[in-house]
Amino acid sequence: MRSRHGYLFKRGGMYQVAWRVNGKLFMRSTGESDKKKAKAKQAEIMAPFATGDDVTVLQNLAARIEGRKAENAALVEKDNPPLTFEHAWAAYVQSPNRPDSGDRTLQDYSGYFNTFAEWMKKRHSDKTLLRDVTPARATAYAVYLGKRNLSANSFNKHIRFLELLYRVTRDPLRPSTNPWQDIRRKQAVSVSRRELTVEELKNVCLAATGELRILLALGVYTGLRLGDCATLRWNEVDAARGIIRRVPNKTARRNPKPVLVPLHAALRAMLAQVPAKFRGDYVLPESAALYIRSSSELSKRVHRHFEACGVKTQKPGTGFFRAIGPDGTPTKTFSGQRAVVEVGFHSLRHTFVSLCREANAPL
């Protein structure tokens, strides 16, 4: 047996103890400036290594290193506790590392997170930390989403956000891996809205009244998206110069450059009919309030108007379809496939482009 007692040396006013095992140097501070006290501390530090063969000594060293790692991990956990599902969303929103998303996107993200949190609560109620989500649990959740008949695009957005959440919150979360990174995305098939025929366009525009009439006219004569038309402000309408100046919602955060749209004579006449006393902030105050509260509800309102005018808004054989039962009662039956929307407010954007092209308008 070889005896190992190490040796003392002073550094920065404190005694250090050093020793070698298999030629490798190890050092540790005694925390003492007095030599007598340092010798006592040396004996305490070297006690596990004083006797024994090299293998035993190395095993003792490994055990002490692991113990110290565990102590450090416990201290880190105490000072920086791991994220719980309860606080995860607030941590994401407040993180300086997250993308600068708009209100609509954050609203969608919040929905994705709440859906996942509820799923975890129902199936793994004892798992309250984000780091409790293993790759296997992430895969199980992806299977659950797949059974909800989501579109490929919705499925991918959901999974992408959860991967982003774990990436943004990785410091307090401290996971070994991101459980969402290997979830396979679905192949999305883009379905473009078709433009309205001239006959359909006449029907939906002539049948519209009130704000809906102006809303549709804005879509036809400006090509702006539903959100931009619904929340258009009077100070963005320059009747004197004959233009509409609008920063599109979709690009406002990353590129706040306004688009200039010529004010069509028919649209100018409609806007001129609005009495001055009703010209507050928004051109369409009721539509703006509805869009801000629930953009999907305003979109559904437009769809219902199209349907009432005889325009089929969804692809045949998808979503719900109406029929008349044997007793003459209207019935609503699910086709078994998620609704594929072919006609909606966005169709007016395509109509605008077609009308401009037919009129030889400059690109």
Residues of the chain under the 70 pLDDT cut: 1-5, 21-22, 48-81, 171-176, 188-192, 316-326, 328, 330-341, 363
Q: What's residue 295's pLDDT?
A: 84
Q: What is the phi-psi region of residue 282: left when phi exceeds 0, alpha when psi lies from -120 to 50, beta otherwise?
A: beta
Question: What would the DSSP string read from start to end of 312-323?
Answer: --B-TTSSEEEE
Alpha-carbon gap, residue 208 to 211, rounded angstroms: 8
Using CB atoms within 10 Å of the CB of residue 15, give its burial: 0 to 12 exposed, 13 to 18 middle, 19+ buried. Answer: buried
Q: What's residue 69's pLDDT?
A: 55
Alpha-carbon gap, residue 145 to 137, rounded angstroms: 12
Q: What's residue 92's pLDDT?
A: 93
Alpha-carbon gap, residue 38 to 54, rounded angstroms: 25
Query: Do 271 and 283 contact (CB within 8 A), yes or no?
Result: yes
- Note the pTM of the prediction, 2 decimals: 0.56
Q: Which helix (H) or strand (E) holds 54?
A: helix 54-79
Q: What's residue 236's pLDDT?
A: 96
Q: What's residue 2's pLDDT?
A: 42
How many Cα atoms occupy the beta-carbon half-sphere of 208 within 13 Å?
23
Q: Which helix (H) or strand (E) holds 110?
A: helix 103-123
Q: What's residue 56's pLDDT?
A: 58
Written as six digits, the tokens of 328 are 């003459």
Rg (CA), the chain: 34
Query: Do 286 and 212 contact (CB within 8 A), yes or no?
Result: no
- How far CA 234 is from CA of 183, 223, 274, 286, 292, in Å, comes to 47, 18, 11, 14, 17
Query: Do 120 and 85 contact (CB within 8 A), yes or no?
Result: yes
25 bridge partner residues: 20
Q: What's residue 49's pLDDT?
A: 64
Q: What's residue 157's pLDDT?
A: 93
DSSP SS3 for 260: strand
Percent with pLDDT over 70 in the chain = 79
